[in-house]
Amino acid sequence: MTPLTVNGTTHQLDVAPDTPLLWVLREHLGLTGTKFGCGMALCGACTVHVDGEAVRSCSAPLSSVAGRKIVTIEGLAALAGRDLHPVQQAWIEEDVVQCGYCHSGQIMSAAALLAKVPKPTDADIDAAMSGNICRCGTYQRIRAGIHRAAALAAK
Amino acid sequence: MASFHSIAGFHLVTGAVVIVGSAAAMISGCAADASRTTSSESAAERARSQAAFVEIAAVLRHPRCINCHTVTDFPRQGDAGRRHAQFVLRGPDNHGVPAMRCNSCHQDSNQENGVPGAPHWALAPLSMSWEGLDDNQLAEALKDESKNGGRSLESLLDHMAHDPLVLWGWNPGGTREPVPVPHETFVRRLEEWMATGAVSPEPSP
Amino acid sequence: MITASLRSNPAAVRSAFQLAVVPPAIVAELSRRGFLKLAGATAGLVLAFHFTGRSARAASAAASATATAGFAPNAFLRIGTDGVVTITINHSEMGQGITTALPMLIAEELDADWSRLRTEFAPVAAEYNHAFFPIQMTGGSTSTWTEFERLRTAGATARALLLQAAAAEWKVSIDGCRTEPGVVIHRDGRRLDYGALAERAARLTPPEKVTLKEPSAFRLIGKPTRRLDSLEKVTGAAQFGLDVHPAGTLVAVVARAPVFGATLEGLDPAASGKGPGVKGVVQVPSGAAVIADDFWTAKKARDALAPTLRWKMPEGAPVDTTAQAARFRELAREPGVPAENTGDAAAALRGAAKVVEADYAVPYLAHAPMEPLNATVTFDGTRAEVWTGTQFQTMDRAAVANVLGIAPEQVELRTTLLGGGFGRRATPSSDWVVEAAHVAKAARAAGLRAPVKTMWTREDDLAGGYYRPMFHHRLAGGLDAQGRVVAWQQTIVGQSFLAGTPFAEMIKDGVDETSVEGAAHSVYAVPARRVELHTPTLPVPTLWWRSVGHTHTALAVECFMDELAHAAGRSPLDLRRELLPADSRERRVLDLAVEKSGYERVNLPAGHAHGLAVHASFGSFVAQVAEVSLQDGWPRVHRVTAAVDCGTAVNPLTITAQVEGSVVFALSALLYGEITLVEGRVQQQNFHNYEVVRMHEAPVVDVHIIARGDQMGGIGETGVPPTFAAVLNALFAVTGKRIRSLPLTRAKFA
């Protein structure tokens, strides 16, 4: 049995240890907010937080995250102690999403950025967010959303 | 001009240095018997040292090594040494930037999906960048404690022989070509080089 | 999509479904027998909307029988006794924002309280058929403009009934009643919430005729309105097809043919990769499906099984895209089937003072939506339930029914959110859904009693076909001594994806409209123009890809226009202005884009240059000016200024977002996109070798909207076509070298 704390709840998982965290979350814990886009850390749709760092769950086997603290998109607001994390709020205000499929990962990456860099520059955003693909092309709104989130968080 | 620690307490100011004795004795720092040699034997040993380094350099310059020993603010990928995809950057601590840390994607071991991994996956610091260096500069950089992470030759050898991140170069996973020189050969060449005075090859003209 | 031809050349449409087309009218009539007719102002053709043959009266009678259900005057909306308006959306949401725009149409005329709105996606039923096609589908950038009248009428009808109900309740004349969002108000001050009126309204007979609002009275339509689906999408609550997981669902991952057209020679039961969690391995027409408790188990077992499978190779030489491109180039030099023959282009070329010739070539492209394909099928032997994100509900349901040997009515197909479509989720053959049905059927035959979710990996998606076809254009243009374009000859070579499908009837006289749209009968007033088409038959499955034929015709036409201008020593802008009718909508967007970008006026930084393109598609008109430079030997697109005229802007935020996204989508294809085949095998596996634009390369896109009430067009695709030429023309201005073959990774920059 592998222990795993996800969004504050500790689970004991009877799952093969080579199972990527992504599938543990989606299929064994029913948390489908974290998405599958490529399966090899190329698209970022599967981004979660592991001990506060952005990690691509499709490439992190359960064994590598055992006993660690995972936060998924479902737990992000609670992490911020609000109804919505400033990034989520900013995304709504800036009308960022289109199909929305990439945005769990986009938001988790953006939140990880803002946790370390509260007032990111455009260069910071390029560096932090170019791992997250959006086929709908919402990049300039993601950028605006991050700036807005920084302003919201500063309030 | 070779420079190295005066281990045996015996060196020639001309810059050609010869140590006679076992390599193990040399690197253990113990005083070794130093017998006087003829200058042609010194020259031959110097040449052997330099030749050993040329083989070492071939390993260091192999993509599996040099892709992370870059002089740039980004790592490289593939045998062509392309800039790492996804705009991955070095970051101030050589471990990436917030939200795009090296270990956001890279684990402690190679993954089935092809993502390479090893413990402490990260870029080597800029002081250990090897891109664009000729054999002489490479050797000098390797030996320079102010650049090589404060390593003595002994600890440098230990690093090359045992560090899992270094060893990854020989077990890179996926379809990546491992370093073609066998690791044991590489270590032996290092030992030989260090036993023969760790002589740097001549600078390029 | 298909409807490009519908709009420009309705007479060309002869489909198996007996369509008729009409331009929209202002006043709608709702007949007592439940038909909604639009009277064409000029064309005299009639568009018939069909509410399943059940009259609106019958529908409301059914609603009154279950009074707590409230009021459901038509298939598109119901109002609960709590006043919440539930809107049933009969189109698929793939990011284009119809989940917001379509409710705006209803809510406007209904005078609904926008904050008390719910939406749901429609089941498959005839009343939800596309307004122009007798199938339920989403595509061709048509949802908003084709629903513009119908949904507004649905809302207006409901409002009329609510007013009637209030008047009856208060025993007053209806003239004294008006609506504010969510309430009916009498001039004496009395108010009743829609919820309070719902049951009474449900018992009333809908009026024969309703009057729609004048645009000047719009409260919602035309206002920038934030998306209704943002909250669920930013919290992870949104359900995409891949997220559907009824209790006990098994997951199937299929090992498919390594080359198109190969068939599985047989499944060795012993080599079935049994292991913990693997429930079975079944053969289906597309290959071998490994069924397991969960995706990871299924995928690993599939990956282990795949190399052991034996395939019967198809007849003919294996596809090699390099050789194929060379053959296309040769074929473009031979006479093809005429798609346009205006004047005598050959003679005009011979008489021209200067002739310019060029070849343009574009590769196969994958759609690569972020959500890989998937479908969950539950089949109990008599009935089936299908969950998937699809653009083609009616066809998919019929196809599933056919596979399972049951009637379409026995199949309940539920549409989820789509994690991107771009046309991939609209296949005439319903490919991935059919496959999932086969898997479910075979699973059941193997004794498995559970829902089965067939999931594709990214590798499966990229290798799975249904690409934007490879195309070649050979162009020859003639200039007179004054530098005017007097002749235009264009030979196009590329596959037809309509051939062999139910849409094949749209191919007229050997010309597949979708291969030449945007080139044949171009708006440019060239006195002599001949466009010809070759349609090779090849084993690579192809499909419409966001903006379809315009993806390559706009590139060829707008780049070649630039070449002609350069050969004539003239401004590309002046040349276009000369050829575009002065009062044309192309001219209007061109002028606006030029004005806003400073094209030929503003001094750009050293090494930067502007490129221009204008193109109409799907009823809308877009001009773009791209600002480009080379950085470290690679094109960097800094900014794209876009002017778009879609006639009426229902939601300006949608329009802006769609154009912004379209530019990025096109740019990915321009810079990186190609699917290549060697020995019949697709060479691209994942986003490392099918690269796309990311944040650090994304340009700033400025969108300027013209909405002056001209005929309304679509927006989902229209922003894509001009991007290619705008960037390529800018690159020419930067480097002096013409690039005529994509993607740009194949070009050599200094």
Closest approach of chain A CAs to the CA of C349, in angstroms? 42
Structural contact between residues C534 and C545, judged by C-beta atoms closer than 8 angstroms? no
Residues of chain A contacting C297 with CB distance shorter than 8 Å: 16
pLDDT of residue C2: 42
Average pLDDT over residues C22-49: 24
pLDDT at B21 over 90: no
Identify the contact set of chain B against chain A, taking CB-CB distances under 8 A. 85-89, 91, 97-101, 103-108, 111-115
Q: Which residues of B11-34 are buried (b: 16+ CB within 10 A; e: fewer)?
A: beeeebbbbbbebebbbeeeebee
Terminal-to-terminal C-alpha distance of chain C: 38
Identify the contact set of chain B against chain C, taking CB-CB distances under 8 A. 85-87, 112
pLDDT at A101 over 50: yes
CB nearest to B101's CB, from A39, A53, A58: A53
pLDDT at C35 over 70: no
Q: Please report, for residues A35, B186, C243, C653, C693, the alpha-carbon distance to residue A132 in angstroms, rounded to integers and kept in the order given.
A: 12, 39, 20, 23, 10
pLDDT digits (tens, 9 = 90+) for B139-156: 999 999 999 999 999 999
CB nearest to A92's CB, from C226, C294, C369: C226
Claim to verify: residue C553 and residue C599 sit in the same structural domain: yes
Question: Which segments of C428-549 does DSSP mark as H helices, in order?
Answer: 431-445, 458-463, 513-516
State what percent of residues in chain A have pLDDT above 90: 95
Claim to verify: residue C99 and residue C158 sit in the same structural domain: yes
Report the chain A residue with the minimal C-alpha distance to residue C690: A42
Average pLDDT over residues C718-735: 98
Rg over CA atoms, chain A: 15
Claim to verify: residue C79 and residue C145 sit in the same structural domain: yes
pLDDT of residue C27: 22
In a domain, C390, yes or no: yes
CB nearest to C296's CB, from A19, A35, A96: A19
The neighbours of chain C, by the rule of 3 or more Cβ pairs under 8 Å, are A, B
Q: Mean pLDDT of all residues in chain A?
A: 97
Which has more pLDDT, C41 or C523?
A: C523
Contact C695 A19 (CB under 8 A): no
Sort B155 into a burial class: Cβ within 10 Å, 0-12 / 13-18 / 19+.
middle
pLDDT of residue C270: 64
State the best of A18, A40, A106 to mutate against chain B, taking most chain B CBs within 10 Å.
A40
Terminal-to-terminal C-alpha distance of chain A: 43
Residues of chain B contacting A55 with CB distance shorter than 8 Å: 103-105
Question: Any idea where the domains of chain A sit in the sequence?
Answer: 2-72, 79-154
Structural contact between residues A63 and A18, judged by C-beta atoms closer than 8 angstroms? yes
Q: Is residue B203 helix, strand or coil?
A: coil
Average pLDDT over residues A68-92: 95
Structural contact between residues C151 and C650, judged by C-beta atoms closer than 8 angstroms? no
pLDDT of residue B39: 79
Query: A53: pLDDT confidence band, cut at 50, 70 and 90?
Result: very high
Claim to verify: residue C577 and residue C531 sit in the same structural domain: yes
In a domain, C462, yes or no: no
pLDDT of residue A89: 98
Question: Which segments of B88-134 does DSSP mark as H helices, in order?
Answer: 102-105
Q: Please report, for residues B46, B48, C226, the alpha-carbon distance to residue B51 in angstroms, rounded to integers and kept in the order given.
A: 9, 5, 69
Q: Please report, for residues C41, C166, C515, the alpha-carbon distance to residue C163 in angstroms, rounded to integers and kept in the order given.
A: 29, 5, 51
Amino acid at C53: G
Token pair for residue A68?
């660690």
Query: A92: pLDDT confidence band, cut at 50, 70 and 90?
Result: very high
Query: A79: pLDDT confidence band, cut at 50, 70 and 90?
Result: confident
Contacts of C577 (CB under 8 A, 6+ apart): C587, C590
In a domain, C449, yes or no: yes
Closest approach of chain B CAs to the CA of C432, in angstroms? 24
Closest approach of chain A CAs to the CA of C309, in angstroms? 23
Q: What does DSSP say about strands C384-388 and C374-379: parallel, antiparallel, or unpaired?
A: antiparallel
**Number of CB pairs, chain A paired with chain B, less than 8 A apart:** 72
Token pair for residue C140?
């061709």
Picking from B82, A121, A132, B91, the residue whose alpha carbon sits closest to that of residue C694 is A132
Q: Which segment of B13-17, B124-128, B132-136, C688-692 scores lowest on mean pLDDT?
A: B13-17
**Number of CB pairs, chain B paired with chain C, less than 8 A apart:** 7
Terminal-to-terminal C-alpha distance of chain B: 14
* CA pair distance B88, A41, nearest whole angstrom: 12
pLDDT of residue C266: 82
Q: Give the Cβ contact number of residue C583 at 10 Å.
A: 7
* CA pair distance C496, C339, nearest whole angstrom: 14
Contact B87 C694 (CB under 8 A): yes
Closest approach of chain B CAs to the CA of A106, in angstroms? 10
Query: C87: pLDDT confidence band, cut at 50, 70 and 90?
Result: very high
Token pair for residue C649?
């802007």
Report the chain C residue with the minimal C-alpha distance to residue B84: C688
pLDDT at C29 over 50: no
Name the residue range of residue C27's domain: 2-45
pLDDT at C54 over 90: no
Contact C661 A136 (CB under 8 A): yes
Contact B98 A41 (CB under 8 A): no
* CA pair distance B105, B164, nearest whole angstrom: 18
Claim to verify: residue C118 and residue C24 sit in the same structural domain: no
pLDDT of residue C267: 83
Claim to verify: residue C178 and residue C194 sit in the same structural domain: yes
pLDDT at C578 over 90: yes
* CA pair distance A121, A126, nearest whole angstrom: 9
Report the chain A residue with the minimal C-alpha distance to residue B119: A64
Options 3.40.50.12160, 1.10.630.10, 3.10.20.30, 3.20.20.450; CATH of A2-72: 3.10.20.30
Q: Mean pLDDT of all residues in chain B?
A: 86
Contact B88 A55 (CB under 8 A): no
Residues of chain A contacting B105 with CB distance shorter than 8 Å: 41, 55-56, 59, 131
Report the domain count for chain C. Answer: 4
pLDDT at A93 over 50: yes
Contact B87 C696 (CB under 8 A): yes
pLDDT digits (tens, 9 = 90+) for C387-430: 999 999 999 999 999 999 999 999 999 999 999 999 999 999 99
Token pair for residue C686?
């994942």
Contact A112 B113 (CB under 8 A): no
Query: C23: pLDDT confidence band, cut at 50, 70 and 90?
Result: very low
pLDDT digits (tens, 9 = 90+) for C540-554: 999 999 999 999 999
Structural contact between residues C376 and C387, judged by C-beta atoms closer than 8 angstroms? yes
CB nearest to B98's CB, from A60, A116, A126: A116
pLDDT digits (tens, 9 = 90+) for C171-223: 999 999 999 999 999 999 999 999 999 999 999 999 989 999 999 999 999 99
Average pLDDT over residues A21-39: 98
Residues of chain B contacting C694 with CB distance shorter than 8 Å: 86-87
Contact C662 A137 (CB under 8 A): yes
pLDDT at C67 over 60: no
pLDDT digits (tens, 9 = 90+) for C616-655: 999 999 999 999 999 999 999 999 999 999 999 999 999 9
* CA pair distance B11, C696, nearest whole angstrom: 55
Query: C271: pLDDT confidence band, cut at 50, 70 and 90?
Result: low
Picking from C254, C285, C543, the residue whose alpha carbon sits closest to that of residue C426 is C543
Report the chain C residue with the minimal C-alpha distance to residue A33: C236
Where are the strands (E) in chain A, listed by range?
2-6, 9-13, 47-50, 53-56, 69-71
ipTM of predicted complex: 0.98
* CA pair distance C557, C268, nearest whole angstrom: 53
Query: C69: pLDDT confidence band, cut at 50, 70 and 90?
Result: low
Question: Which segments of B115-176 does DSSP mark as H helices, in order?
Answer: 135-143, 153-162, 164-167
* CA pair distance C579, C154, nearest whole angstrom: 43
CA atoms within 13 A on the CB side of B72: 16
* CA pair distance C717, C644, nearest whole angstrom: 12
Structural contact between residues C34 and C16, judged by C-beta atoms closer than 8 angstroms? no
pLDDT at C53 over 70: no
State the best of B97, B112, B175 to mutate against chain C, taking most chain C CBs within 10 Å.
B112
User: Which backbone phi and psi does B175 adopt, to 5 degrees?
Assistant: -105, 20
* CA pair distance C560, C613, nearest whole angstrom: 11
Q: Which segment of A42-46, C28-32, C270-274, C373-377 scores lowest on mean pLDDT?
A: C28-32
* CA pair distance B4, A35, nearest whole angstrom: 55
Average pLDDT over residues B107-133: 97
pLDDT at C43 over 50: no
Contact A135 C93 (CB under 8 A): no
Claim to verify: residue C605 and residue C729 sit in the same structural domain: yes
Average pLDDT over residues B108-135: 96
Q: What does DSSP say about strands C47-50 and C71-74: parallel, antiparallel, or unpaired?
A: unpaired
Query: C65: pLDDT confidence band, cut at 50, 70 and 90?
Result: very low
State the best of C695, C701, C715, C720 to mutate against chain A, taking most chain A CBs within 10 Å.
C695
pLDDT at B18 over 70: no
pLDDT at A69 over 50: yes
Closest approach of chain B CAs to the CA of C467, in angstroms? 25
* CA pair distance A63, A21, nearest whole angstrom: 9
pLDDT digits (tens, 9 = 90+) for B62-92: 999 999 999 999 999 999 999 999 999 999 9
Query: C55: pLDDT confidence band, cut at 50, 70 and 90?
Result: very low
pLDDT of residue B205: 84
> Residues C730, C733, C739, C744: what is their CA dihedral angle, to the nearest 10 degrees?
-50
The neighbours of chain A, by the rule of 3 or more Cβ pairs under 8 Å, are B, C
Q: What residues pair up with C534 in beta bridges, in sequence order?
A: C493
Sort B35 into a burial class: Cβ within 10 Å, 0-12 / 13-18 / 19+.
exposed
Q: Which helix (H) or strand (E) holds C705?
A: strand C700-706
Angle (CA) C176 C182 C183, round 5°? 30
pLDDT digits (tens, 9 = 90+) for C337-364: 999 999 999 999 999 999 999 999 999 9
Q: Please report, for residues C81, C115, C465, the alpha-carbon distance to residue C199 in angstroms, rounded to integers and kept in the order given.
A: 7, 21, 52
Domain finish residue from C161, C193, C225:
C225
Contacts of C341 (CB under 8 A, 6+ apart): C530
Structural contact between residues B190 and B157, judged by C-beta atoms closer than 8 angstroms? yes
The neighbours of chain B, by the rule of 3 or more Cβ pairs under 8 Å, are A, C
Task: Kindly write down the DSSP assignment for every residue of C313-333, as one continuous string.
Answer: PPSSPPP-HHHHHHHHHHHTT
Claim to verify: residue C93 and residue C19 sit in the same structural domain: no
Structural contact between residues B49 and B197, judged by C-beta atoms closer than 8 angstroms? yes
A128 and B CB contact within 8 Å = yes
In what side-by-side order are the strands of the sheet with C117-121?
A: C71-74, C77-79, C85-89, C117-121
Token pair for residue C321?
């895209």
C626: CATH: 3.30.365.10
Closest approach of chain C CAs to the CA of B165, in angstroms? 23
Average pLDDT over residues A5-18: 96
Q: What CATH code is assigned to A79-154?
A: 1.10.150.120
Which has more pLDDT, C358 or B35?
A: C358
Contact C230 A96 (CB under 8 A): yes
Report the chain A residue with the minimal C-alpha distance to residue B115: A40
Structural contact between residues C462 and C675, judged by C-beta atoms closer than 8 angstroms? yes
Q: Is the peptide bond before C743 cis (omega within 30 degrees of 0)?
A: yes
pLDDT digits (tens, 9 = 90+) for C514-535: 999 999 999 999 999 999 999 9
State what percent of residues in chain C have pLDDT above 70: 90
